[in-house]
Structure 1
Amino acid sequence: MGRSGILAGAERIEPAHGEPESATVAQAAVASARGAEVVLRRPDGTIVPLPPALTRLVAASLRELSAGHAVTVLPSETMLTPAEVGELLGLSRPFVSRLLDAGEIPSERLLRSRHRRVRLSDVLAFHARRESRRQGRRAVAGAAAEAGIPY
């Protein structure tokens, strides 16, 4: 029995025409309301306060939507296949397999199987480390260029 792609079933929100502008207004309201309570008003008038974690999620989503970007929502504990990790990071599945073999990204083998699964939070941590190293290399190259040192 085949496994349906986790990324294919993820909740993806595309900004519709005019929504980036209203998302910008909402983002400014949330950003200026530091310490204020963000609430949901139900059709019957009942007000439900959003927990701080959900407020941060809404603020992050508003930033992306106001820039015209789509937002995809997945739990960080989602288990991905190496192919899905490659799709998410823009890498080939064989390269991802080498990263898993080297322990660069933690993975778990399925019982009595050659197949592996990778936790989304581990993929995101790997991506953050990779981006940090990339920024460090850019900073070194920029400093070397400013000093006239060949790099």
Structure 2
Amino acid sequence: MASEATHSALPDTESASLARTSAQELSRLLKERPDADRARVTLDGQDLVLPRQALALLRDLLADMAQGHAITIVPTHAELTTQEAANLLNVSRPYVIKLLEAGDIPFTKTGTHRRVRYEDIMAYKQNQMARSRQLLAELASEAQDDDLGY
């Protein structure tokens, strides 16, 4: 089984519609049965038992597909190249390398190549988002104090 699954094509209209219906139904079932920790799913006459966490993940994936988004699944322990990290952060690869070399994001080296754990990239991204929200709140507060009308 692959540790990373990628589906880069955007869902067509029919797939998005089916995903929307399925996500709504799965969401309803999860709400109606909050204590259920697994579910039996039948696929081509074969019964499968799935944990609740997998069902919640499937619901979220279907909701994204319903909005027309392409889906990529990356395990949290996955190691990324600097380009993949840059893509996740929506910055340039040289900027990511500066962050790594400054110690802002932990990394390892495989030969001459830097590798970054997915969970470390996401932690950095969350910290930056929290910092941005804090600074924005401070700016808004100053604007209010200075009666700038914001």
TM range (shorter): 0.7 to 0.9
After superposition, where does 1:49-128 map in structure 2 within 5 Å? 49-110=49-110, 113-128=111-126
* RMSD of aligned Cα (Å): 2.6
Give the aligned partner of residue 21 of structure 2: 22
What is the CA–CA distance in structure 2 between the aligned matches of 1:147 and 1:26, rounded to whole Å? 48
Give the aligned partner of residue 131 of structure 2: 133
Runs of 5+ consecutive residues of structure 1 not aligned to the other structure: 1-8
Give the aligned partner of residue 5 of structure 1: none
Structure showing the higher strand proportion among its residues: 2
Partner SS state of residue 99, structure 1: helix
Alpha-carbon distance, 1:45 to partner: 5.5
Equivalent residues, number: 140
Q: Kindly provide the CA deviation profile for residues 107-127 of structure 1, in whole angstroms up to 9, marking residues without a partner as x.
A: 0012xx332111111111111
What is the CA–CA distance in structure 2 between the aligned matches of 1:50 and 1:70, rounded to whole Å? 24
Partner SS state of residue 38, structure 1: strand
What is the CA–CA distance in structure 2 between the aligned matches of 1:39 and 1:108, rounded to whole Å? 41
Alpha-carbon distance, 1:12 to partner: 2.0
Structure showing the higher helix proportion among its residues: 2
Give the aligned partner of residue 38 of structure 1: 39
Q: Kindly provide the CA deviation profile for residues 1-44 of structure 1, in whole angstroms up to 9, marking residues without a partner as x.
A: xxxxxxxx841263321235324423532452323343321222
TM-score, length-scaled by structure 1:
0.76
Percent identity of equivalent pairs? 27
What is the CA–CA distance in structure 2 between the aligned matches of 1:66 and 1:26, rounded to whole Å? 13
